Amino acid sequence: MATIRFIREDLEVQCNPGENLRELIIKENLKLYGLKGILGNCGGAGQCSTCFISVEGGNKNSLSPLTTVEEEKLKNRPENWRLACQTLIKSSAVILTKPQSPPSDLEDLKKISENKKLPR
Ligand code: FES
């Protein structure tokens, strides 16, 4: 099992390695999309660039490598951003949903998370 810690929601979710991150977020009823994505998203096909998440912790192999779709769509985005629909979980990680509109207390949330051990 892997643990995904969602720092905005202060939630840890157990999942199986190989699970798709977008599907996990939707299954847990978390908010993945901003307004643009709510109004219209591609349903996980890697085409709309609205399912951004940022990786805030874990090891560098916690998630599947960038897909060619992500390499194209994330060209001008921070290095730790991913498209949730293109991302498979390999082991435990810390995730921020909707990094394009970060919470005002993001630095505090990151510090709190850093002080809590993440299961492998
Ligand atoms: S849901 Fe459209 S790119 Fe991920």
Compute the distance between CA of residue 64 and CA of residue 90 in angstroms, rounded to an integer: 6
- Which residues does ligand 1 sit against, CB inside 6 Å? 41-42, 44-51, 83, 85
Q: Which residues does residue 88 pair with via DSSP β-bridges, in sequence order? A: 20
- pTM: predicted TM-score of the whole model, two decimal places: 0.95
> If you take atom 1 of ligand 1, which residue's CA is the nearest one?
44
Compute the distance between CA of residue 31 and CA of residue 85 in angstroms, rounded to an integer: 14
The domain in which residue 10 lies consists of 2-112
Domain with residue 57: its CATH number is 3.10.20.30
In a domain, residue 118? The reply is no
In a domain, residue 120? The reply is no
Number of domains in the chain: 1
Which of 83, 87, 100 to mutate for ligand 1's pocket (most ligand atoms within 8 Å of CB)?
83
Which of 25, 85, 88 to mutate for ligand 1's pocket (most ligand atoms within 8 Å of CB)?
85
In a domain, residue 59? The reply is yes
In a domain, residue 92? The reply is yes
- Over its length of 120 residues, how does the chain's per-residue pLDDT go in tens digits? 999 999 999 999 999 999 999 999 999 999 999 999 999 999 999 999 999 999 998 888 999 999 999 999 999 999 999 999 999 999 999 999 999 999 999 999 999 999 988 887
> If you take atom 3 of ligand 1, which residue's CA is the nearest one?
46
In a domain, residue 117? The reply is no
**What burial letters (b/e) apply to 10-40, b meaning 16+ CB within 10 Å?**
eeebebeeebbbbebbbeeebebbeeebeee
Strands 93-97 and 2-6: parallel
